[in-house]
Structure 1
Amino acid sequence: MSVVTTARLPLFPLNSVLFPGLVLPLNIFEERYRAMMRDLLKTGTDASGSLGSEGEAGDEPRRFAVVAIRDGREVAPTAPGLPDQTAQPEKGPAAGFGADPIQAFHRVGCVADAATIRERSDGSFEVLATGTTRIRILSVDATGPYLTAEVEELPEEPGEEAGALAEGVLRAFRAYQKRLAGARERSLAGTADLPDEPSVVSYLVAAAAVLDVPAKQRLLQAPDTATRLREELHLLRAETAVIRHLPSLPAVELTRAPTSPN
């Protein structure tokens, strides 16, 4: 009988989905997340083994949990340029997420390991993290300076025929890339360098495909690799068929998306 691993981690909600193995750059400006990064600097070392800003070395990685915000929810209006600048912004670790914050988030997320955390002169942070393992949120605590969550690790099971499905997904992904980029454009990623390990393939394709957050979330929380690959095969074929019938557009117009700080 397998033992379920649980932990309490800082919680970082985003309007996007993080997958294991994928790099996550962050621009931190909200105070609650600044406090999170200051604490992470005190408790861990970066990938090069350098000390945190407080000069204290730690043996634990700088880990936090990333979860996608459900449709219809938004982060607290603390950034300039958002509508209704005369309204009083909510404050506190759960600002923008309601009285029961866990209801604002998808329950399955991903642990992020911060390789680098750099504090700027204005107190904001530049962070580079990498997704590691999937987790399920069990509870959310809003009593501290930022949200924390009790989480359990979700093991990645291969499922049946994952290897064969991965080969089919890679072929479909190459066809999708060619359609998306256009016949005279370079492919969106070097096809010669694509991996062949099924779970890695499934996460890479999930991250690289131009899909909305609900679709990406469904892929993240798939019960096993084979199920995720089957869904991706269906999505890639459907998206490729749609693109084939669209007017000719530069690939950059189809893939451009605004950068979201925090």
Structure 2
Amino acid sequence: MIERLPLFPLGTVLYPGLVLPLHLFEDRYRMLVRDLLDRPEPRRFGIVGIELGHEVGADSARRLAEVGCVAELHTVTPHEDGRFDIVTVGGRRFRLKELDRSRPYLRGEVEFLPEEAGTDPEPVAHRVRLLFQMYRHRLSAAGAEVAEPLELPMDPVRLSYLIAAAVVLDGHEKQRLLQAEDAAVRLGMERDLLHRENRLLEMLPTVPAGQFLDGSFNPN
């Protein structure tokens, strides 16, 4: 299914089912919000990663990631000077097929991607849960602020996205997890990444991890 969506290039990866608050101050994104508010619900736009360029400024995002995530608009708080604070929740993933630069903000022709568990995800999901709990413990032992214990979902798709959002990784690795073919593949990648991160934390217990579960992402 092909659909046209307004796009918001961002240096942060949004995952399905996770919450992302945004502060919008550029004129083009103020316009985007106003245009969305003029439409009936559901009001949504696409978050797509920046592979080359910056978030702010004209023509700042020169190359975008191939796969993004729908941001469903849940709350809007306007400010007197025209800025907006919004809260979005990740919806479906999409593949960006074509860009339209005819408006101040980008729009794109997108193809929605399926969400599948994949082949036999349970064994790797069990391993990821154990490694994630070890990761949280080692972060806490290293002095990082770790949020209250999470209730990890049993559903492998939801689990794969929660782990992807919660672990401190660079943008390239976050994007690779978003683009994974299915939950079993994504969980396999997370298993390997958690093995690596746990080894690093064991060897370097003072590795900074202040952004871990800092409230930017929350389970929906």
User: How do 1:42-81 and structure 2 match up within 5 A?
Assistant: 42-43=38-39, 58=40, 60-70=41-51, 72-77=52-57
Give CA-to-partner distance per residue, 1:108-158, whole Å, 9 cap, x none: 000010101121101000100000111000011010131111101000121
What's the CA shift for 1:256? 3.7
- Cα distance in structure 2, aligned partners of 1:76 and 1:259: 23
**Residues paired across the two proteins, number:** 215
- Cα distance in structure 1, aligned partners of 2:131 and 2:147: 14
Q: Tell me the equivalent position of 1:20.
A: 16
**Structure 1 gaps, min length 5:** 44-57, 78-89, 99-103
- Cα distance in structure 1, aligned partners of 2:206 and 2:60: 40
Q: Tell me the equivalent position of 2:60.
A: 96
Q: Tell me the equivalent position of 1:194.
A: 152
Q: Is residue 2:139 matched to residue 1:180?
A: yes
Residues 179 and 26 (structure 1 numbering): CA distance in 2 closer, same or farther, change over 3 Å? same
Residues 184 and 105 (structure 1 numbering): CA distance in 2 closer, same or farther, change over 3 Å? closer
Q: Tell me the equivalent position of 1:146.
A: 105
One-letter code of the match for 2:121?
Answer: A
Which residue, 93, 96, 114 being the options, matches 1:155? 114
Q: Tell me the equivalent position of 2:176.
A: 218
- Cα distance in structure 2, aligned partners of 1:212 and 1:189: 23
Q: Which runs of structure 1 show a deviation greater than 6 angstroms over 4 or more consecutive aligned residues?
A: 183-186, 257-260
User: Do 1:163 and 1:197's aligned partners in 2 also have CA atoms closer than 8 Å?
Assistant: no
What's the CA shift for 1:97? 3.0
Residues 67 and 189 (structure 1 numbering): CA distance in 2 closer, same or farther, change over 3 Å? farther
Q: Is residue 2:95 matched to residue 1:131?
A: no
- Cα distance in structure 1, aligned partners of 2:203 and 2:182: 33
Task: Give the secondary structure class of the aligned counterpart of 2:90.
Answer: strand
Residues 231 and 213 (structure 1 numbering): CA distance in 2 closer, same or farther, change over 3 Å? same
Residues 39 and 178 (structure 1 numbering): CA distance in 2 closer, same or farther, change over 3 Å? same
TM-score, normalised to structure 1, is: 0.77
Q: Tell me the equivalent position of 2:65.
A: 106
What's the CA shift for 1:185? 7.1
User: Do 2:94 and 2:113's aligned partners in 1 also have CA atoms closer than 8 Å?
Assistant: yes
User: How do 1:111-122 and structure 2 match up within 5 A?
Assistant: 111-122=70-81
Residues 218 and 183 (structure 1 numbering): CA distance in 2 closer, same or farther, change over 3 Å? closer
User: Do 2:145 and 2:210's aligned partners in 1 also have CA atoms closer than 8 Å?
Assistant: no
- Cα distance in structure 1, aligned partners of 2:86 and 2:2: 25
- Cα distance in structure 2, aligned partners of 1:247 and 1:240: 10
Flag the structure with higher strand content.
2
- Cα distance in structure 1, aligned partners of 2:146 and 2:104: 44
Task: Give the secondary structure class of the aligned counterpart of 2:197.
Answer: helix
**Structure 2 gaps, min length 5:** none
One-letter code of the match for 1:33?
Answer: Y
- Cα distance in structure 2, aligned partners of 1:186 and 1:199: 27
TM-score, normalised to structure 2, is: 0.91
Task: Give the secondary structure class of the aligned counterpart of 1:106.
Answer: strand
User: Do 1:135 and 1:152's aligned partners in 2 also have CA atoms closer than 8 Å?
Assistant: yes
User: Do 1:114 and 1:127's aligned partners in 2 also have CA atoms closer than 8 Å?
Assistant: yes
Q: Is residue 2:194 matched to residue 1:236?
A: yes
Q: Tell me the equivalent position of 2:25.
A: 29
- Cα distance in structure 1, aligned partners of 2:148 and 2:91: 22
Q: Tell me the equivalent position of 2:185.
A: 227
User: Do 1:23 and 1:128's aligned partners in 2 also have CA atoms closer than 8 Å?
Assistant: yes
